[in-house]
Amino acid sequence: MFIQTEATPNPATLKFIPGRLVLDGGPMEFASREAAARSPLAERLFGVPGVTSVFYGADFITVTKDGSDWQHLKPAILGAIMEHYMSGEPLLADGSASSAADIDGGDEFFDENDAETVEMIKDLIETRVRPAVANDGGDITFRGFKDGIVYLNMKGACSGCPSSTATLQHGIQNLLRHFVPDVVEVRPM
């Protein structure tokens, strides 16, 4: 098994590509060892000292570290991923994938009068933003819309990334304001 690695814009996060489907159905993030209890692979990864977060995309895994050095962490992480796939264990202990809504941990919020605007925002995020962000090892999902402000949840490599503010302000905000005049600002949530 050959596992590729790619740098992400977040220096604390690396993207691992095992060359096979990782998660079918929507991204998942494990921000703590306790949350990882439902995934044998995430548990293995949290067993590597220095790992602080694990994120599953469709065909990649991103791992975020504390101040530890990648030179020491990367071999242990590669070993944990390989060991998981060689074991034949399921990705999730219950054998099923949760929907993105279950993982995001909350309902969306917006005024019913803004439903048409929200649909346009969600469509733009889904078709133009999420694919680009997935290439960088992360994910961004819609959380809400109120008073012209779009609230987004940043996950994986995007969470805590030094360039995430620039991505939101100059990339996503400009895109949404161009296509949806009601949008005045984009904020992380």
CA distance linking residue 55 with residue 10, whole number of Å: 13
In angstroms, the CA 63 to CA 55 distance is 6
The pLDDT tens digits of the residues spanning 77-117 come to 999 999 999 998 988 887 655 434 344 456 889 999 999 99
Instruction: Specify the pLDDT at position 102.
Output: 42
Instruction: Report whether pLDDT(180) > 70.
Output: yes
Query: Does 167 have pLDDT greater than 80?
Result: no
pTM of the model: 0.75
What DSSP letter does each residue of 114-146 carry, written as one string? GHHHHHHHHHHIIIIIHHHHHHTTEEEEEEEEE
b/e burial code for range 77-107 (CB count within 10 A of at least 16 → b): bbebbeebbeeeeebbeeeebeeeeebbeee
Name the one residue in this structure whose structure tokens are 């070993």. Answer: 79
Q: Are 85 and 141 in contact (CB under 8 A)?
A: no
Distance CA 26, CA 153 (A): 14
Sorted by where each starts, the structural domains of the chain and their CATH numbers stand as 4-87 (3.30.1370.70), 106-188 (3.30.300.130)
The count of C-alpha atoms lying within 13 angstroms of the C-alpha of 169, restricted to the half-sphere facing its C-beta, is 5
CA-to-CA distance for 26 and 119, rounded, in angstroms?
A: 19
What's the pLDDT tens digit per position in 137-153?
888 889 999 999 999 88
The Cα 89–Cα 77 span in angstroms is 17
